[in-house]
Structure 1
């Protein structure tokens, strides 16, 4: 897959949004999507996560503030939104809201065809996207005969076929079994290695800590941002956001009490890293 070149910086600046005749969902929030870094967005139901993702990708227009791409304000007209969606793609939580073609190949080709690309270029992009999501064998399969996990992958492949610099995912692991989650995370790692910046909304603090470089937590109407390992270790913030503490920070506290983990050492983010510390402790 050809990686995007010079990934752009996507930024919300003092953005506000309210639905018609309703209270403010988001008010004066600022968020920077840093190129090349994985960003996890967390918060309780109703906190505005999905609204924030739709603002980032042009699906909603802010009532205050502005959205910029590489410092240039995004215009919410046909031309401006088309330019934004060439760069930034959203995959919604329920794949059935995104899949509408008869077959997998047709669905993945829909976006590139609408860019006016040549047939050869469309075929190349579809083949690359199917390969990246490991669903090449499903190319001719009717979409209504796919499993839930397969439909999730097809929805992501449709976005990947657009070759976005920024891929935005709303709860991509929801409804997947553990093997499906692991396969998806491996796919996202490959996309990131190829140059795609990934933003993921999730309720899973352990997954966010394991996967993300940076985190953004919506709590009490405010957006808190920072490195994932630091921000997700703030138990007060997680409580305010109705999120449970991560197992990794709890395990790190025990390791420090027993002198296995030095104060400034990184915490174990995966079970494998935790086992490594345990083995080291036994060998002492």
Structure 2
């Protein structure tokens, strides 16, 4: 698989003037005795962004996330951290993992300690931090994920949504600049999804960059600034509303059109939404537009 950017000269996951925190350059990877999963991929993530990684099953999303976090080593190309190539030795990987943290899809693959607090404290303790610093980080992480009340709860007694947030708290306690999550909303009911998105909002407000792999195009349109779409033709990156309005790209990646994009096209076709007006990305956006239109507001 090769990488393709949008028509902008710069990788669209990197805002103009912002340097990437973590970046894959010409990256390729194949599992043993298998064909290449990724080939020639360029993917950069800048500080403070929310990036949705989309693609069909088997497109290489999980592999790409593991390459970014150092869980897998590039078979070709390189991984850069703050512009410098990552060395896959103890020192290099420790530096990478204090900057970039990966949360896997199944929390049971990540949680292992007897209680939530013990699990969240594992990473900071492994860094050799003073006890008081570890306690501070655990408290901050539990507060960020709104699970302070679960600190002493055995992990095996948590609900699925609670286990998801506990796993994320363990990554947050490392104070990463980039938090990478593989399908974090998978298996959650609507209430659980909202609680998780609220927690991610708090993390973004504190300056954490978030990269999320998801199949949910509506979630991506609602939540992300930027999108990265893995398709047979390559990796495309750019503003989320722009990429998810590209019917050819969506067809190539076997993704459906987001509801917000579909609604905007219907409104424009009927002359109710100006061609250059932003499309609704959330139900609240559409409700606000309907309210303004109902009281005599002009199409906008």
Aligned match of 2:230: 218
Aligned match of 1:234: 246
Contact 2:23 2:80 survives alignment (8 Å): yes
Contact 2:268 2:274 survives alignment (8 Å): yes
Aligned match of 1:156: 168
Contact 2:20 2:44 survives alignment (8 Å): no
Q: What SS class does the counterpart of residue 9 from structure 1 fall into?
A: strand
**Unaligned regions of 5+ residues in structure 1, if any?**
1-5
Q: Does residue 1:142 correspond to 2:140, yes or no? A: no
Contact 2:233 2:252 survives alignment (8 Å): no
Contact 1:102 1:142 survives alignment (8 Å): yes
Deviation at 1:282, TM superposition (A): 2.0
The 5 A counterparts of 1:21-60 are 21-60=33-72
Structure 2: how far apart are the matches of 1:181 and 1:215?
Answer: 20
TM-score for both structures, normalised by structure 1: 0.96
Aligned match of 2:3: none
User: What is the Cα-based RMSD across aligned positions, in Å?
Assistant: 1.2
| Aligned partner (choices 259, 264, 267) of residue 276 of structure 2 | 264
Structure 2: how far apart are the matches of 1:248 and 1:24?
Answer: 35
Q: Does residue 1:189 correspond to 2:175, yes or no? A: no
Q: State the number of aligned residues.
A: 279
Deviation at 1:277, TM superposition (A): 1.5
Structure 1: how far apart are the matches of 2:204 and 2:36?
Answer: 34
Aligned match of 1:63: 75
Alignment deviations for residues 251-274 of structure 1 (CA, whole Å, 9 cap, x no partner): 001111222211111110001111
Structure 2: how far apart are the matches of 1:146 and 1:221?
Answer: 41
Q: Does residue 1:87 correspond to 2:99, yes or no? A: yes
Deviation at 1:8, TM superposition (A): 5.6
**Unaligned regions of 5+ residues in structure 2, if any?**
1-17
Q: What SS class does the counterpart of residue 22 from structure 1 fall into?
A: coil
Structure 2: how far apart are the matches of 1:162 and 1:7?
Answer: 22
Q: What SS class does the counterpart of residue 81 from structure 1 fall into?
A: helix
Q: Does residue 1:175 correspond to 2:199, yes or no? A: no
Q: What SS class does the counterpart of residue 290 from structure 2 fall into?
A: helix
Contact 1:8 1:165 survives alignment (8 Å): no
| Aligned partner (choices 109, 129, 132) of residue 97 of structure 1 | 109
